[in-house]
Amino acid sequence: MPTATLPQHYTDLIALQRESGTLGSIAANISWDQETYMPAGGAGARAEQSSLLAGIIHERNTSSKLGDLLAQCEADADLSDESTPEGASLREMRRDYDLATKLPTDLVKALALAQSTAQETWKKSRANNDFPSFVDDLTKVLDLTREKGECYGYKEGGEVYDALINEYEPDTTAKEIEVVFTPLRDRLSAFIKDLTENGTAPKVDFLHRSIAVEKQHAFGQAITAQLGFDYNTGRLDTTTHPFCSGFGPGDTRMTTRYEPTNFPDAVGSTMHECGHGLYEQGLPKGGALFGTPLAAAVSLGIHESQSRMWENMVGRGKPFWNWALPVANKHFDNAFEDIDLDTFVKSMNTCTPSFIRVESDESTYNLHVMLRFELERAMINGDLAIKDLPGAWNEKFKNFLGLDVPDDTTGCLQDVHWSFGLVGYFPTYTLGNLYAAQMWETINETIPDLDAQMAKGEFGALLSWLRENIHQHGRRYSAAQLCQRATGKPLDAAPLMRHLERRVKPAYCM
């Protein structure tokens, strides 16, 4: 319906949401500052600012005023029709409101306390390779997390894990993930085994030539500007752990990291965060929509599909480097002048089973994720006792990646997620890779000369496709609906396998 005819309760609701969005952008702003420029001495005051603001935001998001306005709008048949943007927006506001109000205060407090205790214990247990000392705290966090899932609730025939995924990947169930993951897992394991046993790994030594950090930064800015990141409405800064934060209209911050002798790491991080940044810049935050679900990202999996596409599908391909290698040589005083394009591209597509997820390559990464999905699902459903986690981890690791885990520090103690009670979060990483690969096939069918365009440094047609099919919709459609609309098919593991076979196999002389 035209804006002029929207009833007062709806415009009041939107105004309230906009204020919450603005408060959220202030929280994002001070948190970005904390990671980038805040002096160490500011930590105490910043913690106070953050916690006060979080309290105000939570109070607003659970207020009866918001609940009443929502109910009034939902009772309005013209407004609540889900096929309209307003109706879809209401559906998503209801989801957020329910998630924010369904948990009893006692549980929220108990979980916060258990999480902060478990994180401290986890740090020590990891440093000392002492899993048994972590068992009690991890059990406590997972028990409370299970309770949280029970409070959220899940569909009949489902499991408590579904309720937890819902926070990160709405409308997706453990069974749906399993159906896609299981065939992928077996094909990936076989693919990796074949490459590592029968192939010859490409040369990579030249990638570790020393490149000054300032030069890497200038190169990162140059390539991301060419990809389409708008520096009038964004920045690139440096942090230990790269991230991207879309503050609000006209302001998107991304960060990356640099090591003089690991230039590919910075390129990967920068292009990854740029993919997140392009999504944030493409969400319709202008006009009246900021603060509403229509101006927000649909899910972690879809967000990650954007970062992975630019990092991997674009950033490890020959067309991209046909354009970018001369640019790199210009920035780096011809550091790679003696390396031909094919040799360079092969070096960007290695496949080496290793123990640490965050250091793993494009092919093996997904097996690290699937292992965690299977284990956390078993722990939360009560099928795996926490004390038995190391044994189960090591056994799966051997099956999936063919390696013997030497100790728990390089095994089940490596990630912080479980100590936070983040269960259902890991699968979104691989869902992102799967969505990216499936979209990539459709994009290449729709833009048949995409490779030729990218080889000339032209990324406009690709970005337009993403703007039109993904970015502009915000949360109007679910991730699964978006995938179906954009690619004509439900999510499937085959495109990712085809991508890896096309891309990684040629890097190995077989």
Which positions are annotated as active-site residues? 273
Q: Residue 484 is encoded by which pair of tokens?
A: 């179906």
Q: Is there a contact between 201 and 348 (Cβ–Cβ < 8 Å)?
A: no
User: What's the min distance (Å) between Cβ of 272 and Zn ion?
Assistant: 6
Please say which residue, 86 or 280, places its beta carbon nearer to Zn ion. Answer: 280
User: What's the min distance (Å) between Cβ of 304 and Zn ion?
Assistant: 5
Does the protein bind Zn ion through residue 306 (CB under 5 A)? no
Q: Residue 227 is encoded by which pair of tokens?
A: 């990809």
What is residue 253's three-state secondary structure? Answer: strand
Number of residues that bind Zn ion (CB under 5 A): 1
User: What's the min distance (Å) between Cβ of 234 and Zn ion?
Assistant: 16
**245, 285, 472 from 93: Cα distances, Å:** 21, 16, 18
* 200 DSSP assignment: B
The residues with which 244 forms a beta bridge, in sequence order, are 254
User: What's the min distance (Å) between Cβ of 243 and Zn ion?
Assistant: 8
- Dihedral angle over CA of 89, 93, 96, 100, nearest 10: 170
User: What's the min distance (Å) between Cβ of 353 and Zn ion?
Assistant: 22
Please say which residue, 149 or 315, places its beta carbon nearer to Zn ion. Answer: 315
Please say which residue, 275 or 353, places its beta carbon nearer to Zn ion. Answer: 275
Please say which residue, 36 or 128, places its beta carbon nearer to Zn ion. Answer: 36
HEC per residue, 36-50? HCCCHHHHHHHHHHH
Does the protein bind Zn ion through residue 307 (CB under 5 A)? yes
**Span of 260-268, 304-312, 344-352, 360-368 interacting with Zn ion by CB under 5 A:** 304-312
Instruction: Look at the block and give the residue holding tokens 């063919």.
Output: 402
Q: Is there a contact between 427 and 369 (Cβ–Cβ < 8 Å)?
A: yes
Please say which residue, 224 or 307, places its beta carbon nearer to Zn ion. Answer: 307
DSSP string over 347-370: HTS-----S-GGG--TTTHHHHHH
**Span of 50-58, 79-87, 286-294, 299-307 interacting with Zn ion by CB under 5 A:** 299-307
Contacts to Zn ion from residues 317-346, by CB under 5 A:
none
CA distance 96 to 21: 13
Does the protein bind Zn ion through residue 256 (CB under 5 A)? no
Contacts to Zn ion from residues 179-208, by CB under 5 A:
none
* Residue 93: φ, ψ to 5°: -65, -40
Closest of 136, 132, 160 to residue 148, by C-alpha: 160
Does the protein bind Zn ion through residue 270 (CB under 5 A)? no
**Span of 71-79, 302-310, 347-355, 382-390 interacting with Zn ion by CB under 5 A:** 302-310
DSSP string over 425-478: -THHHHHHHHHHHHHHHHHHHHSTTHHHHHHTT--HHHHHHHHHHTGGGTTSS-
Please say which residue, 20 or 307, places its beta carbon nearer to Zn ion. Answer: 307
**Which position's Cβ is nearest Zn ion?**
307
Please say which residue, 256 or 438, places its beta carbon nearer to Zn ion. Answer: 256
User: What's the min distance (Å) between Cβ of 105 and Zn ion?
Assistant: 32
Contacts to Zn ion from residues 384-423, by CB under 5 A:
none
User: What's the min distance (Å) between Cβ of 168 and Zn ion?
Assistant: 12
CA distance 290 to 247: 10
Contacts to Zn ion by CB under 5 A: 307
